[in-house]
Structure 1
């Protein structure tokens, strides 16, 4: 990680056109900037077992920026998003029962599309995943269909 040198020039949490400058002289264009001090040694946001950013009750982190030990895969981010969604819904309901994220508990470690007709995958137990299964959810459209469907939209 690099320390930001122009914090006083940035507006946090609002969309705009920014240039984040570091003490090492690097510059990064950004449209949205968040201030956070809760980062781990890999530069990811520290989260609790419900994927809330450390020290924040109402801010969640999922996917690659999330400081869990899970692999950085779209599949993991999607499952984390599903959990956060379910927990937000539960928190606003009368029972308010939420579930923690179980790190490294997903059945797949990796799924790799090799064109639209071939694929290979590795399960969490280290076994090869059945190719038809991987083709079904990854190779056909690189999971874009699932993303469109999750938003209630028809894939183009």
Structure 2
């Protein structure tokens, strides 16, 4: 990566978004001796891989937020990016502050409902409190309905039932198959088996009809839920685990010609945004046909930073290629399912490797801070 002494003149890399891809890019820029600014609307990195555990286990949320300033100092700015002026090579923040870039790495990620995501302009103390308050809603409810049986919904149902085995937990999913469609069928079947073992009730191939009329994330006794198949059920708490969307607001106007239908940025094999040799897209906001995962965001970041360094020294650019899918689902702290490099893993191994700590150690190590 080169030493600190050879800092190239006129190079200033701006990283927009401090999720998994953003902090990986910032750390590599830092160790490569490149001048950079990391921008995020929160004051702390959110290890949202552990957000579902943080929503059931009191005191856990504190470990899932890691302050940026302690790692990146003056290279971090808290703010919301309003737009990118590509002609002037400026990132414009809400409020008018402008930051010049020679190279830009966009890592704006995806947004979705709380508790899976916490994409709000807030201090991390406020965020931690939001999770602690949510736990009280779960604790007060006798029955919980989880809407959506993708990977997040499956993990959410398992987390609640593991922590509170006496609660009635129902999972409703519009499809028959659970978890991510990119997973091996045998792994998806295992996810279903774990939920049934934990006594989660499954309503598959059905949709909630009246979701827009119902209050989410707030305990309210005996809410009546109807499905498109004519079923009716009552529940005390409804948690939505559907509707992830790409955060494109920061770049939509500046890169309108490079945005795919889903809001992601079209990139070439070097992860350069189409039409811009000095702009890279990393993680969920890159239009790459692979599951949206923290693991992939880290791989993208390495390619983007390497290519910035290579372009400065006239070296050949590195290409990013998708590989066999590695994905682990934590099914509560004591169980898990998943695959490594396209091969199904034993459940105990996933529980050991991911479910117990949810890879928190990795993020604290990456941020070079001590876990509380």
Where relative contact order (Cα < 8 A, 6+ residues apart) is larger, the structure is: 2
SS of the residue 1:60 aligns to: strand
SS of the residue 2:273 aligns to: coil
1:72 paired with 2:289, answer: no
Q: Supply the distance in 2 between the matched residues of 1:90 and 1:134 (Cα, whole angstroms).
A: 37
Q: Supply the distance in 2 between the matched residues of 1:89 and 1:131 (Cα, whole angstroms).
A: 41
Which of 4, 8, 15 is the equivalent residue of 2:93?
Answer: 15
Q: Tell me the alpha carbon deviations over residues 109-138 of structure 1, each in whole angstroms, 9 at most, x when there is no partner.
A: x2101122321102443x312445434543
Q: Supply the distance in 2 between the matched residues of 1:88 and 1:130 (Cα, whole angstroms).
A: 40
Would the alpha carbon gap of residues 121 and 11 (structure 1) be closer, same or farther in structure 2, given more than 3 Å must change?
closer
TM-score (ref. length: structure 1): 0.68
Match for residue 50 of structure 1? 270
- The 8 Å contact of residues 113 and 142 in structure 1, kept in 2 or not, is answered as yes
Match for residue 315 of structure 2? 96
Please give the root-mean-square deviation of Cα atoms over the aligned residues, in Å.
Answer: 3.0
Would the alpha carbon gap of residues 144 and 90 (structure 1) be closer, same or farther in structure 2, given more than 3 Å must change?
farther
Would the alpha carbon gap of residues 61 and 142 (structure 1) be closer, same or farther in structure 2, given more than 3 Å must change?
same
Match for residue 139 of structure 1? 355
Q: Structure 1 or 2: larger helix share? A: 2
Q: Supply the distance in 2 between the matched residues of 1:114 and 1:64 (Cα, whole angstroms).
A: 23
Q: Structure 1 or 2: larger strand share? A: 2
- Structure 1: 5+ residue runs without aligned partners? 1-9, 19-29
Q: Whose radius of gyration is greater, 1 or 2?
A: 2
- The 8 Å contact of residues 14 and 33 in structure 1, kept in 2 or not, is answered as no
Q: Tell me the alpha carbon deviations over residues 83-132 of structure 1, each in whole angstroms, 9 at most, x when there is no partner.
A: 2233333334x5723320102x1451x2101122321102443x312445
Deviation at 1:45, TM superposition (A): 0.5
Would the alpha carbon gap of residues 11 and 67 (structure 1) be closer, same or farther in structure 2, given more than 3 Å must change?
closer
SS of the residue 1:69 aligns to: coil
